[in-house]
Amino acid sequence: MQSEKQSNSLTRQILQSVSDASLVPFLAILTAVVVGGVIIKLVGGDPILAYRGLIQGSFGSTKALSETAVWATPYIFAGLAVALAFKGGLFNIGAEGQLAVGAVASSLVGYALPEWLGYDLPIVIHLPLAIIFGVLMGGIWASIVGALKAYTGGHEVINTIMMNYIALNTTSFLLNGVMKDRSPTNVIARTPLIADSARIPPIFDGLRVHWGFVLALLVAFLIWWLLNKTTLGFQIRTVGLNPDAAKYAGINVKRIIILTMALSGMLAGMAGTIEVTGLNYRHELGFSIGYGYDAIAIALLGKSHPLGVVLAAFLFAAMRNGATRMQFLTQMPVDLISMIQAFILLFVAADAIVRYIYRIKAKGERVVLTRGWGG
Amino acid sequence: MAKKPVSSEVKTPIVLEAKEITKQFPGVLANDSVDFDLRKGEIHALLGENGAGKSTLMNLIYGLHHPDKGEIIVNGKTVAIHSPNDSIAAGIGMVHQHFMLIPVFTVAENVMLGDEITKRGSLDRATVAARINEISKQYGLDVDPNAIVGDLPVGLQQRVEIVKTLYRNAEIVILDEPTAVLTPQEAEDLFRIMRDLTGRGVSIIFITHKLKEVLAVADRITVMRAGRVVNTVVPAETNEAQLANMMVGRQVILTVEKKDHAASGDILKVDGLSVRDQRGLETVHNVSFTVRGGEVLGIAGVQGNGQTELSEALTGLREPHGGNVFIDGQDLTSKPPRIITAAGLAHIPEDRQRHGLVMSYTVADNMALCDYYRPPFSNRGVIQQKALDENARKLISAFDVRTPSPFVNAGKLSGGNQQKVIVARELSRSNVKLVIANQPTRGLDVGSIEYIHSEIIKMRDRGVAVLLISAELDEIMALSDRIAVMYRGQIVAIVETKKTTREQLGLWMAGAHAETA
Ligand SMILES: Nc1ncnc2c1ncn2[C@@H]1O[C@H](COP(=O)(O)OP(=O)(O)OP(=O)(O)O)[C@@H](O)[C@H]1O
Ligand SMILES: [Mg+2]
């Protein structure tokens, strides 16, 4: 009870709200790590050693750090995609499909454009083109769902899932057909390598981390700025929080819904594009399995705040990346990591559990189920 | 208003006592060492300005918040109330200022929610329905257990809330501003129910801003101001003016001062307007009227006679399916809100939480909700936070909004202060030619009503056209130059205020137009 007594100073209030926002995710991670440790112990492993392996594998060397950043790059873009949609009151489950169409589009531009033109392009033209095409495809793909929502009321959750099926099966069809790498040794569904002029250069020689990582951080900042400092962001947030009030305020709600979906899809498309142009230099069926779904977890863990998304993306990247080292040291299967991630998500989503364990009182407004007298 | 029964001289025992209750919210001392008691079988009214701390005190008693200091005593025993479960167990029930019902559930499902009776693992709706019928009969609270709550009018939804408390055997019932949205008839019904309940030994805490109601139904009246109890009085020894004075701490002018004012040309012209509601039923039929600059046209009528749809159609929130709307000569039929606002409309919406505010936005952001895209609030698509904050500070002091700072979320303000945020935003816009005010003072205290009324009259005196829609006949009569009566979607009469009476209006509102108009 006494803890609710607070000073009136504004800075205190702001600090308070920051710590309020990050407290639950932080405790959720902590709890998941403890639960994971107990499970390791139960199956006869050494939790300390396992976690040490995890940390070594993700942060223990320049190479490990570089690989963590490589993992984090698409996670940041895809996490931002889901987070932005959340801010606009939309649940974009379709990042996976938007990412795939983005990857297909940019790899096509990457390998086919020089052939088609008959001459090589300079990197300053070819690379931006490859990226832009991927981003646009992701945006167009998602805005179809936005338009369905705005004009027919069709729910975006159902429609993004449907669009995922279409995207993934179309991709498979293309990668096994017209876009297949025809080199004699190839048997798998993948495109040819993209031209050198469509590749994002690495930041350091000998390490895989590329400038796409820096771009991801920049874009995260940009999205924060867009959401919080621009009139467009104001519109997106207003529609997300109260579409009736948005309409009253003169906002074109339908337009904003489509635009929000488009922007979200562009970010997801970027996640696919960045893997093609920065890392794999081609699109291969199945490279991204699960990025689009991890993105939902990342957005939730990051409370849809761009900085939160970046941090959550790093955490997920570190866990994925360090898992191999952990397995090597302790013979604990890599799947354990997925389990811990699932626990984190569970504790964030059902935050009542965390609040109960740590005896944190629920802050914020009560849920008003129906609106009654306007007093 | 019915006469209250002669209160018995014998003092019944105290069933609930709150002692030295203190509650600090960030920036506000909402309750400051409050003492309050409730006797068995009495109606104890709680009066006070917006933000005085009435809802807070009730929430503390009900266990929704926890006091920093103080104790709560029920039937002589100190009780520890950690959550509504504890207060329900202690026999306390609460009907909130904002409903807590699930609209898609039936009455029976809502009533049993949180206290479900099951039979072999499935909900025992029959038993619950029987209990509800029993309670209905016993207290004269007519409700159909199988009706879907969302389909019921507000008055009935409220009854469901009351049944819900009785279903849990409440002996102490808290009613937080129950009459704010009721029609006069529904309010009368509620008072009858309240008396029935007290007759059976239930004790009631009744919060309201309407002084007439308090004098008519309360046994005792406690007045709060700025988190403290000012005084407790009995109705026989007080009057409206004195109560108002106690609440606000100064003299309140209960009548509106309004000079004669010459109206100019037509500003709002409504021509043959027909509107359908969301179910597709036509609720406004072929309505025509005009409002001139410098006049207030009041629309009187029992709620639910098409006023909501009419105002939504005029403000761009709903598309009419016939007729035209002109503002200052410009055809604005079916235009979106942004364009109508730009043409000079200021709109105080009926449902402040649904349309008027984004509850999780700050007061400052809410005060620029309709103008965020224009200079000085934005510059090439970038929000100018400084301008927003400055605007908020100006409006907060000009309109006396009680908030710890412009950066508090609107949802944290008391109901009345939320309304002031909207009024301040709308009336302060620079190019206003027409004000459409729908229930502008619902839930406001007398001081704020006085203020908003004087602001509306000021707009009129500046030559602005005002369309006032209100369920309060007193408000309509006090502010309007002309009055239009709406009945079943039609304007059945338009008269000059001076040339009519309350009784005449009452007859028209009840549908007696064929003979007279
Ligand atoms: N959850 C909350 N967090 C912060 N401040 C709050 C909260 N609830 C209420 N307050 C503040 O406490 C004060 C008292 O509010 P309360 O709702 O009790 O007023 P009230 O007397 O019911 O007013 P009204 O007649 O307008 O409903 C107000 O200044 C309000 O802003
Ligand atoms: Mg209140």
**Which of A211-225, A357-371, B387-401, B500-514 has the weakest average pLDDT?**
A357-371
pLDDT of residue A292: 87
**3-state class (DSSP) for residue A370:** coil
| CB-nearest partner of A231 from B176, B383, B443 | B383
Q: Which residue of A has its CA nearest to B66?
A: A1
User: What is the share, in percent, of chain A residues with pLDDT greater than 90?
Assistant: 65
pLDDT of residue A367: 34
pLDDT of residue A357: 79
Taking residues A128-150, what's their average pLDDT?
Answer: 97
The CATH architecture annotation of domain B15-91+171-252 reads 3-Layer(aba) Sandwich (3.40)
CA distances from B269 to A10, A90, A217, B510 (A): 48, 40, 55, 26
CA distance B397 to B375: 22
End-to-end CA distance of chain B: 27
Kindly tell me if the per-residue pLDDT of B112 is higher than 60.
yes
Instruction: Kindly tell me the burial class for residue A244, based on how many C-beta atoms sit within 10 Å of its own C-beta (0-12, 13-18, 19 or more).
Output: middle
Kindly tell me if the per-residue pLDDT of A121 is higher than 70.
yes
Rg for chain A, CA atoms, rounded = 22
Q: B377 to chain A nearest CA, in Å?
A: 9
Q: A27 to chain B nearest CA, in Å?
A: 24
Angle at B221 between CA B217 and CA B227, to 5 degrees: 135
Q: Could you check whether the bond before residue B153 is cis, i.e. omega within 30 degrees of 0?
A: no
Other Cβ atoms within 10 Å of B379 Cβ, number: 12
pLDDT of residue A16: 66
Mind listing the pLDDT tens digit for each residue in B321-348? 999 999 999 999 999 999 999 999 999 9
Any idea how long chain A is? 375
Kindly tell me if the per-residue pLDDT of B501 is higher than 80.
yes
The domains of chain A are located at 28-37+45-358
**Which of A332-336, B3-7, B9-13, B24-28 has the weakest average pLDDT?**
B3-7
Mind listing the pLDDT tens digit for each residue in A312-346? 999 999 998 998 888 888 888 888 888 888 888 88
A362 touching B (Cβ < 8 Å): no
B364 touching A (Cβ < 8 Å): no
Other Cβ atoms within 10 Å of B470 Cβ, number: 25
**Which of B68-77, B145-154, B376-385 has the weakest average pLDDT?**
B145-154
pLDDT of residue A128: 97
The domains of chain B are located at 15-91+171-252, 101-169, 253-344+431-517, 358-429
Any idea how long chain B is? 517
Angle at B516 between CA B514 and CA B517, to 5 degrees: 75
Kindly tell me if the per-residue pLDDT of B438 is higher than 50.
yes
| CB-nearest partner of A245 from B96, B358, B416 | B358
For residue B245, list its beta bridge partners: none
pLDDT of residue A365: 35
pLDDT of residue A217: 98
Question: Backbone dihedral region of B117: left (phi > 0), alpha (psi from -120 to 50 degrees) or beta?
Answer: beta
pLDDT of residue B468: 97
Find where tokens 């992701």 sit. A138
Average pLDDT over chain B, rounded to whole?
Answer: 89
Cβ <8 Å between B66 and A1? yes
User: What is the share, in percent, of chain B residues with pLDDT greater than 90?
Assistant: 59
Q: In the structure encoding, which two tokens stand for residue B511, read together?
A: 């549908």
A303 touching B (Cβ < 8 Å): no
Cβ of B418 below 6 Å from ligand 1: no
Nearest to B357 by CA among B346, B371, B370, B345: B370
Taking residues A168-178, what's their average pLDDT?
Answer: 92
Taking residues B478-499, what's their average pLDDT?
Answer: 94
| CB-nearest partner of B378 from A231, A371, A373 | A231
Domain A28-37+45-358 CATH class label:
mainly alpha
Other Cβ atoms within 10 Å of B233 Cβ, number: 18
Let me know: does A194 contact A111? Beta carbons within 8 Å: yes
pLDDT band of residue B436 (cuts 50, 70, 90) is very high
What is the dihedral sign for C-alpha A302, A306, A307, A310? positive
pLDDT of residue B185: 80
| CB-nearest partner of B99 from A5, A10, A371 | A371
Torsion of CA A314, A315, A320, A325, to 10 degrees: 110
Mind listing the pLDDT tens digit for each residue in A19-76? 767 888 888 888 888 998 998 899 888 889 889 999 999 999 999 999 999 999 999 9
pLDDT of residue A368: 32
Other Cβ atoms within 10 Å of B455 Cβ, number: 20
pLDDT band of residue B36 (cuts 50, 70, 90) is very high
Cβ of B48 below 6 Å from ligand 1: yes
Taking residues B88-107, what's their average pLDDT?
Answer: 85
Contacts of A244 in chain B (CB under 8 A): 354-355
**3-state class (DSSP) for residue B97:** coil
**Which of A89-98, A124-133, A309-318, B8-17 has the weakest average pLDDT?**
B8-17
Other Cβ atoms within 10 Å of B273 Cβ, number: 22
Kindly tell me if the per-residue pLDDT of A7 is higher than 70.
no
Let me know: does B204 contact B170? Beta carbons within 8 Å: no
pTM across the whole model: 0.85
pLDDT band of residue B228 (cuts 50, 70, 90) is very high
The DSSP output letter for B478 is H
What is the dihedral sign for C-alpha A260, A262, A268, A274? negative
Taking residues A245-270, what's their average pLDDT?
Answer: 97
Kindly tell me if the per-residue pLDDT of B351 is higher than 70.
yes
Kindly tell me if the per-residue pLDDT of A231 is higher than 80.
yes
pLDDT of residue A372: 33
Taking residues B436-459, what's their average pLDDT?
Answer: 90
Let me know: does B441 contact B453? Beta carbons within 8 Å: yes
Kindly tell me if the per-residue pLDDT of A305 is higher than 70.
yes
Kindly tell me if the per-residue pLDDT of B488 is higher than 50.
yes
CA distance B49 to B47: 7
CA distance B228 to B220: 17
Question: Backbone dihedral region of B40: left (phi > 0), alpha (psi from -120 to 50 degrees) or beta?
Answer: beta
**Interface test with chain A among B31, B49, B62, B99, by most A beta carbons within 10 Å:** B99
Cβ of B447 below 6 Å from ligand 1: no
Cβ of B52 below 6 Å from ligand 1: yes
Contacts of B370 in chain A (CB under 8 A): 248-250
Kindly tell me if the per-residue pLDDT of A371 is higher than 50.
no
B404 touching A (Cβ < 8 Å): yes
CA distance B196 to A276: 75
A205 touching B (Cβ < 8 Å): no
Q: B15-91+171-252 with B253-344+431-517: one CATH topology?
A: yes
**Residue B260 or A252, more confident:** A252
- From the alpha carbon of A365, which atom of ligand 1 is closest? 1
Q: In the structure encoding, which two tokens stand for residue A311, read together?
A: 């941090």
Angle at B283 between CA B278 and CA B285, to 5 degrees: 135
CA distance B50 to B421: 13
Q: Could you check whether the bond before residue B376 is cis, i.e. omega within 30 degrees of 0?
A: yes
Helices (H), chain A: 10-42, 47-59, 62-87, 95-117, 123-152, 156-176, 211-229, 231-241, 243-248, 253-275, 291-301, 306-330, 335-349, 351-357
The DSSP output letter for A278 is I
Kindly tell me if the per-residue pLDDT of B97 is higher than 50.
yes
Q: In the structure encoding, which two tokens stand for residue A61, read together?
A: 């060397």
pLDDT of residue A6: 39
CA distance B428 to B418: 16
Kindly tell me if the per-residue pLDDT of A97 is higher than 50.
yes
Taking residues B496-505, what's their average pLDDT?
Answer: 91
Kindly tell me if the per-residue pLDDT of B251 is higher than 70.
yes
Kindly tell me if the per-residue pLDDT of B407 is higher than 90.
yes
Q: Beta strand B43-48 with B203-207: parallel, antiparallel or unpaired?
A: parallel
CA distance B325 to B306: 16
Q: Which residue of A has its CA nearest to B388?
A: A229
B380 touching A (Cβ < 8 Å): no
Kindly tell me if the per-residue pLDDT of A269 is higher than 80.
yes
**Which of A148-162, A297-311, B1-15, B255-269 has the weakest average pLDDT?**
B1-15
- In chain B, which among 146-165 make CB contacts under 8 A with chain A? 149-150, 154, 157-158
Taking residues A223-250, what's their average pLDDT?
Answer: 96
Nearest to B314 by CA among B483, B434, B427: B434
pLDDT band of residue B448 (cuts 50, 70, 90) is confident
The CATH classification number of B253-344+431-517 equals: 3.40.50.300
Kindly tell me if the per-residue pLDDT of B260 is higher than 90.
no
Please report the ipTM that was assigned to this predicted complex: 0.83
